[in-house]
Amino acid sequence: MSKKGKMKKRLAVVAALMLVAMVALTGCAGKKSIRVLIGSTAVTGDTYQTADFITRAIADDLNADMRVDPVGSSEMFRELGRAGTDGSTIALFHDYTFLGTLYGAYEENWLEEFQVGPTISINAGTCLAVMANNEYGIEDWDSLVEAARENVIVFGIEEGSVSNYISEQTKRFLVDNEGVPEENIQFSALGGMSAQREALWAGTIDVFNGSYSADIENTAERGNTDERTTMNIIALTGRDRLDGVDIPTLGELTNGRLFYDKEFFFITQKETDADFIKELEDAVKDALENDEELKAQFAQNQFMANFKTLEESVPYFNEKMESARQIIESGR
């Protein structure tokens, strides 16, 4: 080949490489960066897990790099309030968004300040547990009701939390529907699940708001033979039964009159670009219906898919907040 021919070949190769590089750069430049604030600082809890699972599942559909930032609830709302409306900073949290207001942790009503939706999932693994050798012979929901009619039953709670509300809701139901005297249901504010679990083992509380995935290991069915720590899970607190779990829900046990679903959802500025919201809704819906990896992750962690659009979510959570307000105020 002549020198001239070799030069042409080299130029052609260089041009081709430059074209590939330009295409790659164009693709990178077109990819959005989305920061997802969450209302927890823990990277092992259900909020972070939900955010991690769903952002991985929808990032490609949104043509975005999505980064989960565990900043805690107060900082999450503060930073979201300073964010723009292009969808580059959004948030993800659960019912404490409004329960925190009702329990006085926030002065603001965040359901009025921001918009919630799409809704993503339910943590269906929250449960009520008792000691297997408890003094009142409580083995299931019916025996809990019977015991509460005649004895003071102490529920462990984390004050102002979801467990606090579940316990208040349960008390209201027992008093209003099962003939349980108001004074027979008492609460002991102890802190998070670890503190409540220790109190149950120590015998200072009778009922514990636990986590199925953690506390099933403390049951005799899973081989725990230590009488000091063996528990019975008497009910999951949600409405619908969890696939593959042979434990009834409060919804089943009360014909839908008592249950609590801890729901997770995105939160955005009210003026957020409508096209972005539609893209987000479509991506979440598609992932919940078709992403097999996401389905497996949800099943492994006792999460249920729970899709609602923003338009459906806003009135739904306003109504849920008002129902919670009535329960909480009735106990004051």
What pLDDT was estimated at residue 27? 45
pLDDT at res. 5: 53
Number of neighbouring beta carbons within 10 Å of residue 190: 21
Q: What percent of the chain has pLDDT over 90?
A: 83
Map residue 264 onto helix, strand or coil.
strand
Q: Please report the beta strands in the chain, taking only residues with DSSP state E, as ranges in sequence order.
A: 32-38, 64-70, 89-93, 115-123, 126-131, 153-157, 185-189, 207-211, 231-236, 262-268, 303-308
From CA 232, how far away is CA 235, in angstroms rounded? 9
C-alpha to C-alpha distance for 63 and 76, rounded to whole angstroms: 24
Q: In angstroms, what CA-CA distances link 169 with 166, 204, 327?
A: 5, 21, 6
pLDDT in tens, 60-114: 999 999 999 999 999 999 999 999 999 999 999 999 999 999 999 999 999 999 9
Residue 23's pLDDT is what? Answer: 42
Residue 24's pLDDT is 45
| Cα–Cα distance measured from residue 90 to residue 85, given in angstroms and rounded to the nearest whole number | 9
Fold agreement between 31-123+262-330 and 126-253: yes
Residue 29 has pLDDT above 70, yes or no: no
Q: Which CATH architecture has domain 31-123+262-330?
A: 3-Layer(aba) Sandwich (3.40)
Domain chopping of the chain, boundaries: 31-123+262-330, 126-253
C-alpha dist (Å) from residue 113 to 19, 110, 175: 47, 5, 35
Correct CATH for 126-253 of 2.30.30.240, 3.40.190.10, 3.40.50.280, 3.30.1360.40: 3.40.190.10
